[in-house]
Structure 1
Amino acid sequence: MNSLSGRFLVLTIIFVMLAEVLIFVPSVARFREDYLLDRLERAQIASLALLATPDDMVAPELEAELLANAEVFNVVLRRDEVRQLILSRPMPPEIYGTYDLRDPSAYELIRDALWNIVMTEDQVIRVIGNPVRGAGEVIEITMPTGPLRAALIDYGIRILILSAVISIFTAALLFLAVRRFLVKPMRRVVDHMTAYAEAPEDARRIIIPDAGVRELRDAEAALQSLQTQLTTALKQKDRLAQLGSAVAKISHDLRNVLTVAQLLADRMERSEDPTVQKAAPKLVRSISRAVNLCEGTLAFGKAEELPPTLSRFNLAPLIDDVLDSEALACDPSEIVLRAEIPPGLMIRADSEQLYRVITNLVRNARQAIEATGQPGEICVLAREEDAEWVVCIRDSGPGLPPKARENLFTAFQGGVRKGGTGLGLVIAAELVRGHGGALDLVRSDESGTEFALRLPRNSAILDAAAE
């Protein structure tokens, strides 16, 4: 009986039996009332037979037979304000109680019926009622309680047997209905969950809601949504794992290539050509960053970032490097790159990681403006507050679409460009969190987009983030 259907079967039998018991008590009281009224009617018929004889005289044998057929001891009929003993026979001298059936309450009928059942001793009672068809004012009879109690018990047993049969039949029907409409659909959901747990990355095992019961269908729909999200997350995790492995392999070979490029860039620095001398330091720094990134990826062995190496440095030259690098990829007449950095603003951070963060944000802004085919502007601003340094990247682009805003920092879902992976902002946010800071979207509408990069000035926070 530990199953849902088994417990429902037991509860149904109990509740139906309880309902039958509640019906049983008033029905027994009704049966007793009908039984007594029938005895009054029989007694009245017997008295009318006597009254129909000349001089109201009958043989003692006939009188005894009439009383025996009515199952009473005597009959008293009140007519014309006169109380007259019509029929009588010897009876026990003591009358146990008197019951008036002319206008009894439901409580009185139930109480007297239960008392007659529990009273095992045969006693004599007086019953008063109204004669039928106006054959007098009041009729009284005296009768034994033994036959009444036997009839009540017989009727009660029959009622209880019938109640048990109805309960079992009703419970069986409800049991089958529950199994058909509740238990089987729930078992199907459990089977789907078990099958899905064996291979959660298999989208074919996601449940399809088809239950006929609305509540179960809602539960299946919620389960389908949960399984879909989990399967998507697992696929993304697998893709990230594969990407991490691929990046490690590529970084290994790319590091070798960049090492050669770094050697050549070092030789270019010794060139006497003014243009080469101006570009060579930037080229060397760019290649050095690429080599450090490859080595960091290889050292860590997976697609996660190393803890930041904190140092104090002037922010303005770093921003200039970012903007100079991006200026090489765009037409200065189409996209204006400018910086508003307070002179001598010193911050404490990992310069290489901060360079990557700002580069990602500026590059995203440039690509968004280029996609519109219209001229635009990108501005990098910075300020120092009491508790943090704030670096803002503003652009006059078209703004982010709703889907991109909803999945802004979700890998493979927050991309705006066709073919983009959406990893740029994910990487940037991860690097900022590594500093104990936050990367927030301040606004994004038709007038442009603004991101705010917040780095804490508290040394304890910075040191904890760097551990």
Structure 2
Amino acid sequence: MANEQIDAPKRVIFGLSMKLITMIIAMIMVVEVLIYLPSVANFRINWMDDRVHVAGVAARVIETVPDTMDLTPDTVSKLLSSAQAEALVVRTQGQSQLIERADMPMPVAAYAADTRERAPLDLIGRALEVLFFGSNRTMRVIGVPMDNQDVVVEVLVNEALLREELITYSRNIFWLSLLVASFTSFAIFLFLNGLLIRPITRLTRNMISFRQDPDDARKIIIPSERGDEVGVAERELAAMESNLFAMLKQKQHLADLGLAVAKINHDLRNTLGAAQLLSDQVANLDDPHVQRLAPRLVHTLDRAINFCQSVLDYGRHKSVAPRFEPVDLRALLDECATDAAVRMHPEIEWHNQVEDDVIIRVDPDQIARVLTNLLKNAREALEPLSLQDGQNLSISATLIANDQQVRLFIEDNGPGLSPRAKENLFRAFEGSGRAGGTGLGLAIAKELVEAHGGQLNYIETEKGTKFEICLPR
């Protein structure tokens, strides 16, 4: 673990804090936009109401002038300037009076805007139209003054005046909204920074630091006393890092112990090999006592050598990813049965009940290793029974397949597994079903099947032993 190459952590440029501030400002600005739309529509209608109100005042002025007198050009200019209008039309009791400058021609209105029509969506649309597409057109504002309901006035004004004031109002609203959003986001950030950002940053830095050196116990996080989800995350991270630290130490000790055991096994195997050569020479002596004891001695030495070799093979075993290719399952079974000395066995019958056209995509070498191991275990379980008369010994392979998966069953009619073997099945050095076995074969077989995305299962039967291999089709 210490020698493993660890990539340096990438520097976070746009971190959680910046994302949080940006999100808060963006959300506040969105809310401000939703508030701005009706407010700008209200500003436009109020602006036009002011023009109508001034026109109403002008109407009162006109009423005070006797019919025998005409309005002077100076009075007309003052009335129009107060309303920022180019011309006024006052309608009362069926009569209309036009007020315009004598030195300027009567402008032609491009469109009319009636202040008595106040549909909200229509007001927003008209305000945005003036704001974005307004020009020097003349608009005819129609309305009723609040202090004189009997009078209807029409005010001809330049649209550019309204657009200029709308732009100024919008600019002020934008800067005010940005200022409010900045102060609000900063206040919310200060609150969330202490509540979430800093604890999350602490968790992140601790995970990076612990990943770089998991053998250092000082890198294990010290959880706070918070009772919320952050506190739970800190305590769970501390427990996970503690367990990982202990597990790494244990695995390091086991690795050192395994290396020592491998060296001992290697030397022991060589010693036992030499002893086997001597036992072969002793077995050729004519002494009756030697002839009686020699087979047991040779058998014991063979078992010891096989055990040492199995341990060394398991230690050298490396997990290699399967290389998938189409495989004829029936042919592969027959080949494995031959390798396991099952197919041509004089006392054991071999039944391959898999059809000829079953093709699966697997690693043929790895699956062959699994099948050979299962068939070899079945043969070794049946061979002691072959000395008994009347025994019909058999090993069979059957198949249940569909479009998704293949279920292959390897079954024998032997004595079955002992209770201890069933409890420790698929565990290295513990799950052997026969005396002197290591249990490594089934452990490796299960690992190989799982590497294919499948499962290796033991199935309880009344007699014999039955294993199921489930593989994706």
- For residue 157 of structure 1, the aligned residue among 171, 176, 187 is 171
Partner of 2:419: 397
Q: Cα offset for 1:409? A: 3.1
Q: Partner amino acid for 2:18? A: G
Q: Partner amino acid for 2:426? A: F
Distance 1:432 1:304, change over 3 A: farther
Determine if contact 1:73/1:88 at 8 Å carries over to the other structure.
Answer: yes
Q: Note the residue ranges of structure 2 that are not aligned, 5 or more in a row.
A: 1-11, 319-336, 351-367, 382-390, 400-408, 449-453
User: Match of 2:416, SS?
Assistant: strand
1:245 aligns with 2:260: yes
Distance 1:242 1:84, change over 3 A: same
Distance 2:428 2:97 in 1: 106
Q: Partner amino acid for 1:246? A: V
Distance 2:299 2:220 in 1: 50
Partner of 1:39: 51
Deviation per CA, 1:46-99, whole angstroms, max 9, x where unpaired? 42354357769697466654554344455433333x033286554542233332
Partner of 1:115: 130
State the number of aligned residues: 384
Q: Cα offset for 1:36? A: 0.8
Distance 1:59 1:311 in 2: 126
Identity of aligned residues (%): 22
Cα RMSD, aligned residues only:
5.8
User: Match of 1:246, SS?
Assistant: helix
Aligned ranges 1:322-337 → 2 under 5 Å = none
User: Match of 2:257, SS?
Assistant: helix
Partner of 2:459: 443
Distance 1:380 1:259 in 2: 40
Q: Cα offset for 1:37? A: 0.6
Partner of 1:28: 40
Partner of 2:141: 127
Partner of 2:347: 343
Partner of 1:327: none
Aligned ranges 1:20-169 → 2 under 5 Å = 20=32, 23-51=35-63, 60=72, 65-72=78-85, 74-80=87-93, 82-85=94-97, 89-90=101-102, 91-97=104-110, 98-103=112-117, 105=119, 106-107=121-122, 110-111=125-126, 114-115=129-130, 119=134, 121=136, 124-132=138-146, 135-136=149-150, 138-145=152-159, 147-169=161-183
Distance 1:393 1:197, change over 3 A: farther
Q: Partner amino acid for 2:204? A: V
Q: Cα offset for 1:283? A: 2.8
Distance 1:399 1:116 in 2: 86
Q: Partner amino acid for 1:84? A: S
Distance 2:203 2:158 in 1: 66
Distance 1:253 1:92, change over 3 A: same
User: Match of 1:110, SS?
Assistant: helix
Determine if contact 1:248/1:301 at 8 Å carries over to the other structure.
Answer: no
Distance 1:282 1:272, change over 3 A: same
Deviation per CA, 1:401-425, whole angstroms, max 9, x where unpaired? 6xx5xxx53558x779xxxxxx942
Distance 1:305 1:109 in 2: 76
Distance 2:456 2:417 in 1: 15
Distance 1:10 1:313 in 2: 69
- For residue 409 of structure 1, the aligned residue among 426, 446, 452 is 426
Distance 2:280 2:239 in 1: 56
Q: Partner amino acid for 2:347? A: P
Determine if contact 2:56/2:145 at 8 Å carries over to the other structure.
Answer: yes
Q: Note the residue ranges of structure 1 that are not aligned, 5 or more in a row.
A: 316-340, 363-378, 417-422, 455-467
Q: Partner amino acid for 1:287? A: L
Distance 1:24 1:311, change over 3 A: closer
Q: Partner amino acid for 1:40? A: V
Q: Cα offset for 1:344? A: 6.3
Distance 1:179 1:30 in 2: 39
Distance 1:354 1:342 in 2: 20
Distance 1:113 1:427, change over 3 A: closer
Partner of 1:188: 202
User: Match of 1:84, SS?
Assistant: strand
Q: Cα offset for 1:40? A: 0.8
Partner of 1:290: 304
Q: Partner amino acid for 1:239? A: L
* Mean Cα deviation higher: 53-62 or 142-151: 53-62
Partner of 2:357: none
Deviation per CA, 1:221-259, whole angstroms, max 9, x where unpaired? 699869957974784475145224224226636865896
Distance 1:170 1:258, change over 3 A: same
Q: Partner amino acid for 2:91? A: R
Distance 1:383 1:301 in 2: 27
Q: Cα offset for 1:34? A: 0.6
Q: Cα offset for 1:120? A: 5.5
TM-score by length of structure 1 reads 0.58
